[in-house]
Structure 1
Amino acid sequence: MGVGFSGFASPSGGGPSPSRPSLDDVPEGCVSSILMYLDPPEICKLAGLNRTFHGASLADFVWETKLPSNYKVLVKEVLQESPESLSKKEIYARLCQANCFDGDTKQVWLDKSSGKICLSVSYKALKITGIDDRRYWNHMSSGESRFHMIAYLQQIWWFEVVGEIEFEFPPDTYSLFFRLQLGKASKRFGRRVCNMDQIQGWNIKPVQFQLSTSNGQRALSECYLHEQGNWVYYNVGEFTVDKLHPQIKIKFSMMQIDCTHIKGGVCLDSVLICPSELRHKLNQF
């Protein structure tokens, strides 16, 4: 009996053995200092471990490192709040949602994993040849657009779409895309179908894309519109922002103005601007 119980004795031969340290014993400030080096999804997962990690995950200095350098401007002008009235975690969460501005013709949001800024511009904010003439264009509601409306081109000789935006982008390299679809999609018996009957002219001459910025950058590209029945992001080009907090104006366009043939059967949704490193996520936007 004595030999059997001797294994439970404390090293000093006296009272009970000391309890082992646990995650609850780690100071909250130390946990916060670790969390600030993790990505937002990892922080949110660890916040569920215990009270210490949950409290540490709320620290402002943890989330300020995840916010873009211009977050105060976004809070004031897009969220229309005071940056001092919200916690940094709440600011991050709200900016990760699609936030509308400029009469609901533009949306800005943060990529949840990286905290990088993405921007979308509705066709309604663009100058489009013949857009108000129903012989050429139709405005259609669509659940496939983040703006819930798209423009459908029936036919036209002179196809030109021009836009510009002035925005305060954080330093990064960005890509600009037009989101287009050949064919008119609809629902039939609960299934998506796409009418291709009016598609014409896009295989004869390529569409020309271009962009320019107020700090002297330019990009030109061209391609044939060929993929039918699906939304495609057509790359216009890249531009780089290398200074903190500059307002930069971007002008962009797409055109096919060869009047020897009619163009038609294309849907125009929006323009997307996102960091070039997020191009692999285009279909998630």
Structure 2
Amino acid sequence: MGASWSMAEESGAAGPTGMADLPEGCLAEVLARLEPAEICRLARLSRAFRAAAAADFIWEAKLPRGYRRFLGRVLPHPGAEDGRNRNPKKGSGSGSKKELYSRLCRPTLFDGGTKEFWLEKHSGGICISISSKALSITMIDDRRYWNYVPTEESRFHTVAYLQQIWWLEVDGELDFYFPEGTYSLYFRLHLGRASRRLGRRINSPQHIHGWDIQPVRFQLSTSDGQRAQSKCYLDDPGTWIHYHVGDFDVQDSEVSTKVKFSMIQIDCTHTKGGLCVDSVLVCPKGFQLEKEMPPLCA
């Protein structure tokens, strides 16, 4: 039916009256009640829908509540920190709200390239990934224990690789103006060191040991007193896994929320090694992760 509207409109032929004949303002009111993906699909039907779908009030409502408080932080100078994001004509304060929504849906590095921000395009929920280089890792400067290794399997093209250590402690924090909602926090980890040989992915198990003796303990706390923790035995070498630390609630987007998080295995009766620490992910609860699924943690 949408195709017939579009063809009739483009050719100027007379036809039955349909939704595309409604005033642009009425169409915009209808579109405002749909999800972003549905709005974009309808915008392809005809010029009338395209014009209505560009209304600022539609996309203003889809943007995260309180977005102006963090906009300057994640888009201070578009393209300055990441060569993939160069569009000098569409800064953080110019262009339409639809353009701004589209811009925020594209992953953007901030805080010196150690964090990445994007909107989940279907819901408008915010996601933040934090590089291993933004984390505090015990003994990270001693190359007998840790090394930063390049890889295309990370958003940040680098992961922290542990060869062997007695005391594992990885800490981090994020201070951000989160919109209201419930958020989940994950560590993205991998046992073994992946590489490519003759076009095939291979995983070296050379240093993997110690993770089946005692579980790793994950925990988080927020500036308003929320706490969560879990523990897991690290398993499944060769697979990137999101380990679920816990959830936290944000009730006021006008107040900055500081989240502290950690991963600890400090049983010094044995060494452990062969671990890649890629990043920490903060996303809306229920967010569809990649192919990696969080294991069941206690």
Q: TM-score, normalised by structure 2?
A: 0.86
SS at match of 1:283: coil
Match of 1:74 in 2: 70
Give runs of aligned pairs for residues 62-141 of structure 1, distance below 5 A.
62-80=58-76, 84-141=93-150
| Structure 1 position 23, deviation (Å) | 4.5
Contact 2:240 2:292 in 1 (8 A): no
Question: In structure 1, which of residues 171, 179, 183 is the aligned counterpart of residue 192 of structure 2?
Answer: 183
| Structure 1 position 132, deviation (Å) | 1.1
Give runs of aligned pairs for residues 1-285 of structure 1, distance below 5 A.
20-80=16-76, 84-278=93-287, 280-283=288-291
- Corresponding letter in the other structure for 1:46: L
Q: How far apart are the structure 2 equivalents of 1:19 and 1:267? A: 63
SS at match of 2:173: strand
Contact 2:146 2:163 in 1 (8 A): yes
Contact 2:242 2:292 in 1 (8 A): no
Q: How far apart are the structure 2 equivalents of 1:190 and 1:19? A: 57
Q: Over residues 160-186 of structure 1, what are the superposed CA-to-partner deviations in whole Å (9 max), with x where a residue is unaligned?
A: 001111111011111111000001000
Contact 1:75 1:91 in 2 (8 A): no
Q: How far apart are the structure 1 equivalents of 2:37 and 2:20? A: 22
CA shift in 2, pair 1:178/1:284, >3 Å: closer
Q: Over residues 121-174 of structure 1, what are the superposed CA-to-partner deviations in whole Å (9 max), with x where a residue is unaligned?
A: 101011101111111111111111111110110001111001111111011111
Q: Over residues 45-76 of structure 1, what are the superposed CA-to-partner deviations in whole Å (9 max), with x where a residue is unaligned?
A: 11111110000010001111111012212332
Q: How far apart are the structure 2 equivalents of 1:284 and 1:265? A: 19
Contact 1:72 1:83 in 2 (8 A): no
CA shift in 2, pair 1:46/1:19, >3 Å: closer
| Structure 1 position 80, deviation (Å) | 2.2
- Corresponding letter in the other structure for 2:277: L
Contact 2:75 2:92 in 1 (8 A): no
- Corresponding letter in the other structure for 2:26: C
| Identity %, equivalent residues | 55
Q: Any gaps of 5 or more consecutive residues in structure 2? A: 1-13, 78-90, 294-298
| Structure 1 position 19, deviation (Å) | 5.0
Runs of 4+ in structure 1 over 6 Å off:
none
Which is further off, 229-238 or 63-72? 63-72
Q: TM-score, normalised by structure 1?
A: 0.90
- Corresponding letter in the other structure for 2:53: S
- Corresponding letter in the other structure for 2:148: H
CA RMSD of aligned residues (A): 1.6
SS at match of 2:289: helix
Q: Over residues 79-135 of structure 1, what are the superposed CA-to-partner deviations in whole Å (9 max), with x where a residue is unaligned?
A: 127755221101100110111111100111100110001111101011101111111
Q: How far apart are the structure 2 equivalents of 1:70 and 1:283? A: 31
Task: Mark the structure with the bigger radius of gyration.
Answer: 1
Contact 2:44 2:50 in 1 (8 A): yes
